[in-house]
Structure 1
Amino acid sequence: MLSSKNRWIGYWFIAPAVVTLLLLVTYPLLYGAYISFFDTNLTTKWDFVGLKYYKEIFSNTEFIGKILLTLHYTFWVVAGHFVVGMGLALILNMKLKGQTVFRVILILPWLFPEVVVGLLWKWLFNPLYGLFNAVLMGTGMIDEPISWLGNEQIAFIAVIIVSIWKGFPMVMMLILAGLQNISEDIYEAAKIDGCTRLTAFRYVTLPGLMPVMLVTLILDTVWWFKQFTMIWILTQGGPGNATNVVSIDIFKQAFDYFVFGKASAMAIIVFFVCYLMGYGYRRLFGNGND
C-alpha cells in the first residue's frame, strides 16, 4: 500500500496548474459574473441591479446581430484555417526535401504578436501608401486607390483574410502532428486492398485525424469568436458596424461608455455561447463517448 506521503505526491504535481487556473481563469470569470449584477464604476459605486443588463441585452436586437456577425466572421475564418492548414499539412507530410525550412517559414504568422500582424496588414491596406494599391495601380489593374478598410463590404473580407493568414499555422501544425501519428502500415494495407489516394484519404486519413481535428476545431472556433486585438487595430469595428463583432462591442461598453456591468453581462453570454459551440462540436463529431 502507498504511504500517506506518497499518496499526496500526485496532488503536489498538479497543484501549480490548479492554482494558476483558479487565479487566471476561474476567479476572473466569477468576478465578471458578479460585476454583471451591478451598476458600478468598479471603485465607489456598486448599485445592485439584478438581471437588468441581461434583460437589456436579450431585448436588444443589435446585440443579437453582433453575435450573428461574429458567428459569420468565425465560420469563414475557421473554414479558411482548415482548408489552408489541411492542404499545407498534407504537403509537409510528404517528406519533401527542405520541408523543415518551409515548416519554419509557414509557422511565422502564428509566432508574430497580433498587434504586429494588425499593424503590418493595416500598412499593406493603406489607401495612400499601401503596398496592395501600389502594386495594383502599377500593373494597371486599378485606376485609383481602393479604401480596403474604409468600405463596408471590403473591410469585412479584408479582416477575414488577415485572420486566416494569422491563424492557419496552428491548424497546420496540429493536423501535421495528427498525420504523422497515423501508422504507415494502415496505408500499406489500404493500398493492398486497392484503395486509391482519394479513398485512403477518406477512409484512413480523415478517421485517424478526427480526434485531433475535433480539438483543433473547438480551440480555433473559441479563439477567433472572441478575437479583439487585430480587428480593433485594423478597423475598430468600422466602417459603420461592418466589423463590429461582439468583442469590440464589449470593449466599447466597458472603456468608452464605462458601463462595466453591462459589458460583464455580455462577456458572460459570450462565454456560454463558446461553451455551447464546444458542446455541439463534441456531440456532432465526437466518438460517442462524450
Structure 2
Amino acid sequence: MTTTMERAADKAPARERPGRRPGRLRKHLWSYLFLVPLVLLFGGFTIWPMLASWWYAFFDWDGVGSPTEWVGLANFREVLASDAFWRAFWHSFVFSLAAIFIELPLALILAILLNNTWLRFRNLYRLVIFLPVVATTAVIGIVIAILLDPAGGLVNRILLDTGLVNEPVNFLGSTSLALPTLLSIDVWKGFGITLIYWLAALQTVPKDLQEAAAIDGAGFWRSLRFVTLPVVTPIAIVILLLVFQRSLNTFDLVRAVTEGGPDYATDVVPTYIYRYAFDPSLQAPRYGFASAAGVVFGLLTLVVTLLQAPFLRRRVNA
C-alpha cells in the first residue's frame, strides 16, 4: 500500500507540489513582466492621485511648489458648509437617477427586442444605437450646443416652422431647461453601452429553460417574468452599479455644453472641483480645497453605494 501511495504522489500534478512554485514563477516570468507597464500606469495615474488628494486636502495649496501651509480639517469644513457643493452633488445625483430610472429600463426593453433572432437588421440597429458611445463627448457637446442654439439652431428652426413654439427656446440658457436638456443628452449618449450590458446578460439565459417554458405553454410575457428576469437578476445588479457610478461622475458633457451654467444650474461635483483647481479666472487655484471636495465626493459616493447593498442582497437572495 505504501508503494502505491508513493507512486501516486510521484504522479501527482506539479501544481500540487509546493516545491515546484518557484519553478513555475520562473517559467511564466515573461507573462508577469508584461503586466509591469499596466501596474506602473495604474499606480501612477490612479493610486497615486487618490493618495495625493487625501494629503493635499489638509493644506491651503495653490499647486506651486510643495504644500507647506497646513490647515487641518478646514478645507473639509468649508466643503461641507458650501451650499454650492451640495447643489452640485444633488445635480450629480439627479444624473444617476435619470440613468437608473429612465436609461436602464428603456435599454432593457430594447435589448429584449434586439435579442430576438426573428428581428431583421438587428445588428444594424445595435450599431446605430452604439455609435454615440464611441463618439467623443466634447464633440457631441459642441454639436448639440449648435443644434440647440436659440439664434438659428436647427431644433428651434424646426419648432418655429411647425408652429410648436412662438419664439425660440433657450434650452441651454434657461435655468429651468438646461439641466433636463443635459439629462436627455446624457441618457442618449450612454444608452448604447447600457444596451450592450443587457444584451450580454440576456445571452446567459439557457435556451433549454426557454424551450421548456414554451413547451409548458408559457407565452412571451410569462417566460420573460418567470425565466428571463430571474436568471439575469444577479447580472442586472452589476449593471445597475456600473450605470450608477458612470452617471454620477458626469463631467465632460457638462463642461463642453454649459460649463455648469447658467447660474450654476447644471453644475455637478466634477465641474465644481475643476473650477476651484483649474479655472483661469481665479487669482490663485485652490488645489487643497479642490482635493478636499474630491475626497468628500468620493466618500459620499461610497456611502450611497453601500446603502444600496442590503436592498441588492435581498434581490439576489429572493
Equivalent AA in structure 1 for residue 292 of structure 2? A
Q: Measure how far apart 1:16 and its partner are.
A: 4.6
Q: Which residue of 2 aligns with 1:254?
A: 277
Which residue of 2 is the match for residue 65 of structure 1?
87
What's the counterpart of residue 109 of structure 2? 87
Partner of 2:46: 25
Which of 50, 53, 64 does residue 43 from structure 1 map onto?
A: 64
Residues 182 and 14 (structure 1), Cα distance of their counterparts in 2 relative to 1, 3 Å cut: farther
1:192 aligns with 2:215: yes
Return the alpha-carbon distance in structure 2 between the equivalents of residues 17 and 202 of structure 1: 43
Shift of 1:138: 1.2
The separation in 1 between residues aligned to 2:208 and 2:199, in whole angstroms, is 18
Higher mean displacement: 113-122 or 43-52? 43-52
Match of 1:4 in 2: 22
**Maintained 8 Å contact 1:137/1:144:** yes
Structure 1 contact 214–282 (Cα < 8 Å) conserved? no
- What CA deviation, in whole Å up to 9, does each residue of 1:39-88 have, x standing for no partner? 11222353111111111112233322322222123211332221331122
Q: What corresponds to 1:214 in structure 2?
A: 237
Count of residue pairs the alignment pairs up:
289
Distance 1:70 1:3, change over 3 A: closer
Partner Cα distance (1:79, 1:134) in 2: 31
Whether 1:271 aligns to 2:293 is no
Number of the residue aligned with 2:11? none
Corresponding position: 1:160 with 2:183: yes
Quick one: which amino acid aligns to residue 65 of structure 1?
A: R
Q: Is the 8 A contact 2:234 2:316 kept in 1?
A: no
Identical amino acids, percent of aligned pairs: 27
Partner of 1:113: 136
How far, CA to CA, are the matches of 1:234 and 1:48 in structure 2? Answer: 37
Residue identity in the other structure for 2:91: L
- Greater CA drift, 161-170 or 123-132: 123-132
Corresponding residue SS for 2:69:
strand
Q: Distance in 2 between matches of 1:171 and 1:192?
A: 32
Deviates more, 1:110-119 or 1:43-52: 43-52
Distance change >3 Å, CA 281–CA 5, structure 1 → 2: farther
Contact 1:78 1:164 (8 Å CA) reproduced = no
**CA RMSD across the alignment:** 2.1
Asked if 1:174 corresponds to 2:197, the answer is yes
Give the Cα separation in 2 of the matches to 1:61 and 1:151. Answer: 21
Consecutive unaligned residues in structure 1, runs of 5 or more: none
Larger displacement relative to structure 2 (196-205 or 86-95) = 196-205
Amino acid in structure 2 at the alignment position of 1:120: V
Name the CA distance, whole Å, in 1 between partners of 2:181 and 2:43: 37
State the one-letter code of the partner of 2:276. Answer: Q
Q: Report the CA distance between 1:15 and its aligned residue.
A: 4.7
Report if the CA contact (8 A) 2:233-2:316 is conserved: no
- Higher radius of gyration, 1 or 2: 2
Distance 1:138 1:24 in 2: 51
| Runs of at least 5 residues in structure 2 that lack an aligned partner in the other structure | 1-16
8 Å contact from structure 1 (residues 41, 259) kept in 2: yes
Contact 1:125 1:132 in 2 (8 A): yes
